[in-house]
């Protein structure tokens, strides 16, 4: 059986976990933290998530993992059949990661570890987040999903990419991504209401104390 290696507090882990559950692919979840011997055994970068396929192949990087799932398990596809629409889905996935998740992640130490950043860094991060919000506004249909009436990987990616800007934006930038994109709050509530999302959110909550203990250990 396919094994997903990582931890439920990780939004990138949860992107892949949601895709697996949405597609109905059986899998085992191996809880393991970054840069531990167990993680290094399945991913040489030491990052979560990673995956061991049912043929024993070890893969990593969330975008690679969801693409693999689409190729290996074509039933219940999360990419549209139309190549133009599929391109739009990939575009939103990339915008979600580069302009929302990764930019906000720069400030995560200020929330989890009380690290102070200079105002110039805060201004730079906010400018990138604003560019990401403008891009989602321009690219998304919210009909009711990001692109039309069917859930795609763009929806899954954005849901978990938003977890970091939703955390650091109000706390450190006096900025809330949910107020910046018309229709985003309603879409976010819809996404959170599904059984899959509720399960993933519950697992995240249950993992929080263990993950915080992990990051507090001297490295």
Per-residue model confidence (pLDDT) at position 216: 84
Q: What's the rounded Cα separation, in Å, for the pair 10 and 202?
A: 13
Residue 112 has pLDDT above 90, yes or no: no
Closest C-alpha to 63, from 148, 138, 157: 157
Condensed to tens digits (0 to 9), the pLDDT of residues 55-74 reads 999 999 999 999 999 999 99
The residue assigned the tokens 């994109």 is 181
Domains contained in the chain, CATH given: 2-77 (3.40.30.10), 83-182 (1.20.1050.10)
The residue assigned the tokens 């393991």 is 32
Q: Which residues on neighbouring strands pair with residue 6, listed in sequence order? A: 31
Q: Give Rg (Cα) of the chain.
A: 17
Task: Dig out the tokens for 43 from the structure.
Answer: 């991913």
Are 187 and 142 in contact by the 8 Å Cβ rule? The answer is: yes
Closest C-alpha to 5, from 19, 41, 21: 41
Per-residue model confidence (pLDDT) at position 122: 97
Q: What is the mean pLDDT of the chain?
A: 96
Helix residue ranges per DSSP H, the chain? 11-23, 37-40, 62-72, 83-95, 102-105, 108-112, 119-139, 153-161, 163-168, 177-180, 184-192, 195-216
Per-residue model confidence (pLDDT) at position 202: 98
Residue 195 has pLDDT above 90, yes or no: yes
3-state SS, residue 115: coil
Are 88 and 139 in contact by the 8 Å Cβ rule? The answer is: yes
Residue 92 has pLDDT above 70, yes or no: yes
Residue 2 has pLDDT above 80, yes or no: yes
Are 142 and 186 in contact by the 8 Å Cβ rule? The answer is: yes
Q: What's the rounded Cα separation, in Å, for the pair 17 and 200?
A: 8
Give this prediction's pTM.
0.96
Condensed to tens digits (0 to 9), the pLDDT of residues 134-175 reads 999 999 999 999 999 999 999 999 999 999 999 999 999 999
Work out the pLDDT band at 215, boundaries 50, 70, 90: confident
Are 170 and 111 in contact by the 8 Å Cβ rule? The answer is: no
CA dihedral sign, ordered 172, 136, 50, 163: positive
Per-residue model confidence (pLDDT) at position 76: 96
Residue 219 has pLDDT above 80, yes or no: no
Task: Dig out the tokens for 127 from the structure.
Answer: 């400018």
- Hey, what's the torsion of the CAs at 211, 111, 18, 96, to 10 degrees? -150
Q: Report phi then psi at 27, rounded to 5.
A: -155, 160
């Amino acid at each position: 059986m396919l094994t997903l290696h990582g931890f439920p507090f990780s939004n990138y882990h949860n992107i892949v976990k949601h895709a697996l559950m949405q597609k109905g692919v059986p899998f085992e979840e191996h809880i393991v933290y970054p840069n531990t011997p167990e993680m290094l055994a399945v991913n040489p970068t030491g990052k979560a998530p990673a995956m061991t396929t049912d043929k024993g192949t070890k893969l990593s990087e969330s975008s690679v993992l969801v693409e693999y799932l689409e190729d290996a398990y074509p039933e219940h596809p999360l990419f549209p059949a139309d190549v133009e629409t599929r391109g739009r889905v990939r575009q939103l996935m990339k915008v979600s990661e580069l302009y929302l998740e990764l930019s906000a992640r720069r400030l995560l130490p200020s929330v989890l570890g009380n690290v102070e950043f200079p105002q110039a860094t805060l201004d730079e991060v906010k400018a990138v987040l604003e560019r990401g919000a403008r891009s989602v506004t321009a690219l998304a249909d919210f009909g009711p999903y990001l692109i039309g009436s069917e859930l795609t990987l763009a929806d899954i990616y954005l849901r978990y990419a938003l977890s970091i800007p939703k955390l650091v934006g109000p706390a450190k930038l006096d900025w809330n991504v949910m107020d910046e994109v018309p229709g985003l709050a309603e879409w976010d509530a819809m996404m959170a209401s599904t059984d899959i999302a509720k399960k993933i959110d519950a697992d995240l909550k249950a993992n929080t104390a263990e993950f915080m203990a992990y990051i507090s250990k001297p490295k």
